[in-house]
Amino acid sequence: MNPSDAVAALVGSKRKIALLAVLVVVGTVGGAFALGVLGAPSVAAVDNTFGDVTNETTAIETDLVVSNPNPVGVGLDGVSVNYTVSMNDIEMAQGGREGVRVGTGNSTLELETWLRNDGIPPWWVSHVRNGERTTLDIDATATSDRLGRSVDFSRSREIRTDILGAFNSDETRPVNADSPLTGDPVLYVNETRGEWGTVSELETPIEMAFTVYNPNIEPYAVTEIGYDITMNGVEMGSGQTEEGYVIPSHSTETVEFTTGLENRRLDDWWVTHLDEDVRGHQVTGLRIEFYAVIEFPGGEEATVPLDALTYEETIETDIFGEGDDVRNGSDPSTDERDSGDGGNETSDGTADDDMSDSDDTTDSGNETDDDTTGGTDGGSDDGSGDGTENGTDDGDDDGGILPL
């Protein structure tokens, strides 16, 4: 055999050995998947933030962390991920991706879905009916067609508000008419009370009561009380009472009437609530202004602004527990933000943020994988990693829309 033939034979042998090695590795990995030796990919974390908002839609930007517990990065063409965001069991957004390719460890997929703003009123109704409480549920599933298995991830947090709490007051406030027809004050308001009425799909009523004292020697007739409600400058409702009250001299009378928010305007308010240029991200200024039409002895009437009763409240929310924007340096695969005070904060500085995480693992055969913890399979990465992206982000968004 001449030298060239020897070299060719040697090279050919090395190529055959290399090819054989590749086939062995591929066969081993494929067989391991088939036998369940390698773990199924799972969802380790889901973090949402609000993106751009228009008059019609609100973008929800999602960082979905997929955990691959296997020692090698594999092109997982048969893997799909899906997630749903619900508030009080009302589906707010749904999205996902097919044909996900991830490396070993954690890989972050950036997804975007859209919430229709005209779905905000139904959620608001549920929030008020539930005592100003909303349960936010995030459910995600990673499915491996190759293994025929699905791994579920779920998270819940409670959002609370107390919009009318500060309206309940025992503070005595004078009512001045600034009119030549009488001296001031014409009345004193000794107490104010407010609570939600029976909310409907069209209106959110507020039942109000003023305890009024007349310090004068003449009785006064309050023929009308009117109100205007705005939220971030958006007109939410206005109206007046349909009956009058007579306040006897040196006597106290309770004036009761109903105001209300027009639910059809809530989607307009929602846009301002998320707009940082209005009052700040997820911040609302609620304002209720009152006036009274008072009839004095002799039949003269005067419209008196009840400036002392103007109710202003700042409403702050942190629906997704964003804290600082998760896309600007915070860790998307940990719950560190969730342990803070960012659930819901009213102007008094109090907050109530109850969080619970549960990672349930199921397979297509309805069997529970007892070896899986933290939303991963096979006892590997516990899903609390640093969220560093180790894979590629292929595929197209589903473009979920709020189906209400």
Identify the band that residue 402 occupies on the pLDDT scale cut at 50, 70 and 90. very low
Ranges 134-148, 262-276, 335-349, 381-395, most confident? 262-276
Stretch 252-279: mean pLDDT, rounded? 94
Is the pTM of the predicted complex or chain greater than 0.75?
Answer: no
Q: What percentage of residues in the chain have a pLDDT greater than 70?
A: 69
pLDDT at 7: 43
- Per the DSSP assignment, residues forming a β-bridge with 82 are 96, 141
What is the average pLDDT value for the chain, to the nearest integer?
A: 76
pLDDT at 324: 52
pLDDT tens, 47-96?
999 999 999 999 999 998 988 887 765 555 567 889 999 999 999 999 98
Task: Say which residue, 218 or 332, is predicted with more confidence.
Answer: 218
**Is the sign of the CA dihedral 403, 128, 271, 259 positive or negative?**
positive
Tell me, what's the pLDDT at 365? Answer: 36
- The kind and range of the H/E element at 260 are strand 251-262
What's the pLDDT at 100? 75
Is residue 375 over pLDDT 50? no
Superfamily of domain 165-317 in CATH is: Immunoglobulins (2.60.40.10)
What pLDDT is stored for residue 21 in this prediction? 44
In this model, does residue 163 exceed pLDDT 90?
yes
Work out the pLDDT band at 334, boundaries 50, 70, 90. Answer: very low
Q: Where are the domains of the chain?
A: 1-37, 165-317
- C-alpha–C-alpha distance, residues 275 and 236, integer Å: 18
Q: Confirm if 104 and 68 have CB atoms less than 8 A apart.
A: yes
Identify the pLDDT of residue 5.
Answer: 57
Nearest to 225 by CA among 203, 204, 210, 206: 210
Tell me the three state secondary structure of residue 57.
Answer: strand
**Tell me: the pLDDT tens digits for 118-131?**
989 999 999 999 99
Instruction: Give strand pairing partners of 351.
Output: 345
Helix segments in 199-355, DSSP class H = 266-274
Helix (H) or strand (E) holding 15: helix 3-35
- Cα separations in angstroms, 255 against 26, 169, 225, 292: 81, 15, 9, 11
More confidently predicted of 217 and 32: 217
Q: What phi-psi label fits residue 255: left (phi over 0), alpha (psi between -120 and 50 degrees) or beta?
A: beta
**What confidence score (pLDDT) does residue 316 get?**
92
Give the bridge partners for 138, in sequence order: 85, 155
